[in-house]
Homo-oligomer: A and B are copies of this chain.
């Protein structure tokens, strides 16, 4: 009888925590609260690193952070415990172990441990370790039902996207080599080797253009202009591939819904 109550609590916990168990749009109540806490905790972890922000009450902050750590610890334990509900993971302890050894759960565990590392007054290594709490942000994505659709659409065009990236890297190496040959003698600190010229090529082909490095010779500007025109294609190609992928995913979704 008690076992049946526990089973019902476990089922409810699973429904509250796992987005796959939810059949309505949006987030469950528990996940909505957790999302807000993740955002608050991440904002705190970010602002903590800024020396000009006066900590109003360092003691209060420490208590707050410890409290958030405890909440996320409870969440972690609850997820592992209720993971037995998911048929895909296998039953009971084997299912829980399967779930716990997957990357998302391992990241969860890491961020939980990081919450309890010594803070502001600890050694450098601990402060760096505490920064891992920022990885909690990745949990937000997993809560969304759109996440798996997007992963699916991107994954279906995996090969084309990797090829686009490789074409991009090839363009970068090629234009960096050209500019190294043309500008290397004039600006040795900026174009004196291919790795140095690559910094310019990355900033140019991604259209960021910081402006710390740019060619000054006429021939260098001609080659850089051709590279600049190629940058339009480099941005257009993955965008076009993703647009086609999302179009296809939408139509596939519709077709399966109609059948």
Q: In the complex, A146→B163 CA distance in Å? A: 7
Cβ–Cβ contact B233 & A238, under 8 A: yes
Cβ–Cβ contact B236 & A242, under 8 A: yes
Q: Which A residues contact B (CB, under 8 angstroms)?
A: 25, 42, 45-47, 49-51, 128, 131, 134, 137-138, 140-141, 144-147, 149-150, 159-160, 162-170, 173-174, 177, 180-181, 192-196, 198-199, 202-204, 206-212, 214, 221, 224-225, 228-229, 231-251
| Contact A248/B245 with A174-B134, A177-B131 known, Cβ cut-off 8 Å | no
| Further 14 A-B residue pairs, CB within 8 A, beyond A206-B207, A209-B211, A237-B242 | A138-B170, A146-B159, A149-B160, A150-B160, A150-B163, A198-B225, A199-B221, A208-B208, A211-B211, A212-B214, A236-B239, A240-B244, A244-B246, A247-B248
- For A199, list chain B residues within 8 Å (CB): 221, 225
- What is the predominant secondary structure among interface residues of chain A facing chain B? helix
Cβ–Cβ contact A51 & B193, under 8 A: yes
With both beta carbons as reference points, the residue of chain B lying nearest to A167 in the complex is identified as B141
With both beta carbons as reference points, the residue of chain B lying nearest to A50 in the complex is identified as B193
